[in-house]
Amino acid sequence: MLPKSIAYKIYWAGRYLERIESICRMSLLAINNGLGINAVAKEIGLNDENELINYIRMTFQYFREDIRSFADEKIIVQVNGLEFLIDSDKSDPESYFKHLLNGVYGIGSSLENFFVEVRSEIRIRSQQENQPE
């Protein structure tokens, strides 16, 4: 059985990763349509590109805090790689967001594999087995 606190952290880690993915997708769409990153920032209620990057960084920090409670070493290494991508050169926004999106996809795939492997170890006990003796 999965403890409530771990389930909560899994849920929010997924949400934070999803937010980063959405921002990357919106940014790439804006770039491909001739708009700047500032347009994406304004669309989600931020002032400019710097605030957008800071929002991504803050979201990533929340993600990392939640994922530390349940992920294995392989995933943590990928999370550190994503942090490197967030802090990488932003002079070519299209390339920046493509690399960031690929990093998010990599972590997402690893998390799916992690839960498939762990799921086989989880056994839901019957109500009788959960009763105190």
Residue 132 lies in a domain: no
Question: Which ranges in 1-133 belong to alpha helices (H)?
Answer: 4-32, 37-43, 49-67, 73-86, 93-119, 127-130
State the pLDDT at residue 121.
55
Residue 53 lies in a domain: yes
Residue 97 lies in a domain: yes
* Selection from 111, 81, 114, 113 nearest residue 99 by Cα: 81
Residue 20 lies in a domain: yes
Q: What is the pLDDT of residues 85-111, one digit of tens each?
A: 999 999 999 999 999 999 999 999 999
Whether the model clears a pTM of 0.85, i.e. scores above it, the answer is: no
Q: What is the domain range of residue 71?
A: 4-122
Residues contacting residue 14 through CB under 8 Å, at least 6 positions apart: 111
How many helices and strands in the chain, by DSSP H and E? Answer: 6, 0
Q: What is the CATH number of the domain that holds 16?
A: 1.20.120
The answer to whether 82 touches 60, Cβ cutoff 8 Å, is yes
Residue 127 lies in a domain: no
Compute the distance between CA of residue 102 and CA of residue 55 in angstroms, rounded to an integer: 19
Count of domains for the chain: 1
Binned at pLDDT 50, 70 and 90, residue 130 comes out as very low
State the pLDDT at residue 118.
61
| Mean per-residue pLDDT, 42-50 | 91
State the pLDDT at residue 3.
77
Binned at pLDDT 50, 70 and 90, residue 124 comes out as very low
